[in-house]
Structure 1
Amino acid sequence: MIRKKLFVTAFSLLMGASLSAQDLSVINQQEATRLLQTLSHDDMQGRATFTAGIEKAATFIETEFSAAGLLPLKGGSASQAPSFRQTFYVHRLTPSQTEVNLDNIEIAAEHLFVNTSQKQLDWNQKNKVDIITISKGKNFRAAFAKVNSQEQDAIVLVHPSHAEAFQDYRGYFAKGAVKKEIGTGSSKVYVLTDQANPKKYQVKFENKIDKLELSNVVGMIEGKRKNEFVVFSGHYDHIGFHKSVDGDSIANGADDDASGTTAMMMLARYYKQQVQPERTLIFAAFTAEEIGGHGSRYFSEQLNPDQIVAMFNIEMVGKPSRFGPNSAYLTGFEKSDLGLLMQKRLKGTTYSIHPDPYPKQNLFYRSDNATLARLGVPAHTISSVQIDQDKTYHTVKDEFELLDMPHFTSMIRAIALAAQGVVSGEDTPTRVDKALVK
């Protein structure tokens, strides 16, 4: 009897291993290449938000979701036809007037930038806004972050010694901003000047405001536990056109983040070909990550975060990690035990997952996982890029030809294996302590 039980157990394990190997073959380099090449092709024009290129990318992802047999995510208005598009609106604010006078001295335009969600500013000394100084010797980026977080309106006087950093920021803010809501929050006017404590000031500023449409592309496989969700995600937007190098001005975003979006789509196909999962699986291609994470923020508002068991966000997995072949790292490893559960599932395989080796890069907060993590979800980003050495990030050189496709294919297989326990309902990661997420 015991021998019979041992035989049955051994046979089951053998069949399970064979089935797993057969299933993983669905995740193959040929298909990974097709998807990744398409998303990072010049035809997509760098997939910048509000462009024809990102619209083309969204249509491609929709087609792939449909071919895989995914269902649109439930929710939305009953009058709306089911769609993989999760559409919402934001406001693009573009500066159209900026005038600043300090003690009767008109400030040159190249020495000004404004951060505000207001349509207009009309300040003088009667408004009693704060005057803040970023003096010589201070860390400009740290000081900027501190000032920007304050709730009070302010004129910020930046010492000329910070001219280079100031111009970097000015270039960013001169392009305008994208906001979900307008007319909220405090405003900051930054002035590059050696003036201190002006007695009189006058600020006139105006934004041109356009209401624009954005869309996540989201599909699902309904599980036996319909209201327990596991999210696999990647952002499909990039930065569009960039500084030309050798006649090339398209920032294709192959690693950032056509790789993550491709991995997510291949995992969707993989899971669709398995038996019905225990938990409902959601596959999300987020928009507008590069301009503030608007897509993931909207997505998080459509679901009850308490019903999201885990989020596997995938970003920049097209190049080998510092830990060697078949390895990746997990941002915010210590914030839940999801990483430990993944390591347990990968034990005995050729794949490995490690804690983020770049804590100073603040990667946990630089991708779409952060929005859900702030709501307590065990939401982490899987990555393999050596971010401290990568020279193609946000350049026109982030192209398909520079990616390691055998490594990339291995990464997708590794995620499929590592997530198995969460998908099957056997593993439930601990929640993120919201008080410890900034």
Structure 2
Amino acid sequence: MRKIFTVIFTSFITFHGFSQAGIKENEVARIIKTLSADDMMGRRTFTPGIEKASLFLQNEFKRIGLKPLTGLTSFEQKFNMYSLKPQQAAVSLNNTTIENDKYFFVTAKESLSWTDPSKVSVFYVNENDNLRKAYGEIKKKNLDAIVLVNPKHQKMFANYKRYLGSGSMSESVGKGESQLFVLADSSQLSSIKVALKNSVETLPLANVAGMIPGKRTNEYLVFSGHYDHLGYQKAVEGDSIANGADDDASGTTAVVTLADYYKKLGKPERTLIFVCFTAEEIGGYGSQYFSKQLNPDEIVAMFNIEMIGKPSKFGANSAFITGFERSDFGTFLQEAVKGTNYSFHPDPYTEQNLFYRSDNATLARLGVPAHSISSDQIDIDKLYHSVNDEFESLDMPHMTNMIKAIAVGSKPMVDGKVTPKRVNKAEVD
């Protein structure tokens, strides 16, 4: 009887995922301490700090025994971006010179010269329109355009100008269409005189990515987090390093830990990709490049892990899933952890648009069940994007258990037993 009980109890433990003994808190702490240490200098893109973080992650993938992605010879997925900054600009509409603070360009062209209003499309963002939505819809049209924005949107317009007006990043130079956004009361355009000259700088970037080839070579599961952060900020009590422990050294640590965990389990059914994205904080360029290197129809799901270092509003050992309603990805995770002390919940902060604010969004727009897993209480988190986002602020038992929960939740997908439905591309902005 004792032997039978032992077998039953052991089966219960294994079934419900308590066999994640290989995921150790001290090892989780080692990785995140390294990534969020002061000598990483906040891991800002294009700095020595992020280069150091990249080298650390490459060495971890080598230690684990991952393989480079197909077609690569190292764990660096290198690519270039181009920084375009206005050097000279002048805008005149209806024979009236527009002041510099009332316009901005969105373009990958080194120069522009528009003098014929019939050669460009004209759009109007009226007083009662949603500027964010209008911006997205106009960008999707891929047209050379002048967009006249009602002055009622002045505050949001200023935010867009602050973000885009000082320059832009592009994956190429000279390609694509251009848009000029103007804060203007007019809804008529009879004459235009638009000139722009940009300086161009080539900027090298690299994701860190590895894989465990599975039995199904054309079915991929992606585990991701971003390893860049903000670098230096205004000093607080002598500390100016934005260490980014929770954002997103916690997610990056989870990616490394899960890679180690799954490599020790042997050859998986589906092929597993583990990727640490660069440049999330400045526009998600790492995930955008990554998404173009694979056939999205072959990506079964994406587990994007973003800020899991502190308990969620649902308590310790719990997290939420952004875009929960867009596929049954979250439902599968809930079912997989049923009966454990782990739990997954729908995103309680839908007004924050978190589904669109991390690296999952790029693949979701291509139809992939790509969701972010987080436990951050974003509405009250005073450490977010601050110099106080440090290792000491994290709850390591919770974080370790969340990595275990993701291991448990992902196992049915890894084993090829369940497949989440695709995201409806038409419903993703």
Q: Does the CA-based 8 Å contact 2:224-2:255 persist in structure 1?
A: yes
Match of 1:34 among 30, 33, 41: 30
State the distance in 1 between where 2:227 and 2:323 align: 22
Distance change (3 Å), C-alpha of 1:421 and 1:99: same
Match of 2:100 among 109, 122, 131: 109
Equivalent position of 2:52 in the other structure: 56
Whether 2:225 is the aligned partner of 1:229: answer no
Q: Does the CA-based 8 Å contact 2:17-2:337 persist in structure 1?
A: no
Equivalent position of 2:274 in the other structure: 283
Distance change (3 Å), C-alpha of 1:223 and 1:149: closer
How many angstroms does 1:105 deviate by? 4.3
Q: More deviation in 143-152 or 214-223? A: 143-152
Match of 2:120 among 106, 129, 132: 129
Equivalent position of 1:14 in the other structure: 10
RMSD of aligned Cα (Å): 2.8
Equivalent position of 1:300 in the other structure: 291
Deviations 1:294-322 (A, max 9, x none): 22222223223333222211111112111
**Other structure's SS at 1:72 match:** coil
State the distance in 2 between where 1:376 and 1:102 align: 41
Q: Does the CA-based 8 Å contact 1:131-1:197 persist in structure 2?
A: no
Equivalent position of 1:421 in the other structure: 412
Equivalent position of 1:313 in the other structure: 304
Whether 2:205 is the aligned partner of 1:214: answer yes
**Other structure's SS at 1:395 match:** coil
How many angstroms does 1:288 deviate by? 1.9
State the distance in 1 between where 2:328 and 2:130 align: 35
State the distance in 2 between where 1:174 and 1:436 align: 29
Whether 2:121 is the aligned partner of 1:120: answer no
**Other structure's SS at 1:189 match:** strand
Equivalent position of 2:368 in the other structure: 377
How many angstroms does 1:414 deviate by? 0.6
State the distance in 2 between where 1:380 and 1:127 align: 43
Distance change (3 Å), C-alpha of 1:402 and 1:73: same
Equivalent position of 1:171 in the other structure: 162
Q: More deviation in 170-179 or 317-326? A: 170-179
Q: Which blocks of at least 5 consecutive residues in structure 2 are unaligned?
A: none
State the distance in 1 between where 2:189 and 2:269 align: 65
State the distance in 2 between where 1:247 and 1:195 align: 49
Q: Does the CA-based 8 Å contact 1:23-1:270 persist in structure 2?
A: no
Distance change (3 Å), C-alpha of 1:125 and 1:206: same
Deviations 1:59-102 (A, max 9, x none): 110011111222222224xxxxx211111222221221122234
Q: More deviation in 148-157 or 304-313? A: 148-157
State the distance in 2 between where 1:47 and 1:154 align: 37
State the distance in 1 between where 2:244 and 2:387 align: 8
State the distance in 1 between where 2:28 and 2:220 align: 25
Residue correspondence of structure 1 range 246-257 to structure 2 within 5 A: 246-257=237-248
How many angstroms does 1:142 deviate by? 4.2
State the distance in 1 between where 2:354 and 2:166 align: 25
Whether 2:304 is the aligned partner of 1:322: answer no
Q: Does the CA-based 8 Å contact 1:256-1:316 persist in structure 2?
A: yes
State the distance in 2 between where 1:296 and 1:99 align: 34
Q: More deviation in 203-212 or 159-168? A: 159-168
State the distance in 1 between where 2:401 and 2:248 align: 17
Match of 1:203 among 191, 194, 198: 194
Equivalent position of 2:398 in the other structure: 407
**Other structure's SS at 2:82 match:** strand
How many angstroms does 1:434 deviate by? 3.3
State the distance in 1 between where 2:315 and 2:176 align: 46
Match of 1:354 among 339, 345, 352: 345
Equivalent position of 2:41 in the other structure: 45
Equivalent position of 1:79 in the other structure: none
Distance change (3 Å), C-alpha of 1:168 and 1:374: closer
Aligned length: 429
State the distance in 2 between where 1:297 and 1:219 align: 17
State the distance in 1 between where 2:164 and 2:109 align: 14
Equivalent position of 1:334 in the other structure: 325
Deviations 1:114-140 (A, max 9, x none): 111211111224555345454556554
State the distance in 2 between where 1:419 and 1:372 align: 18
TM-score (norm 2): 0.89
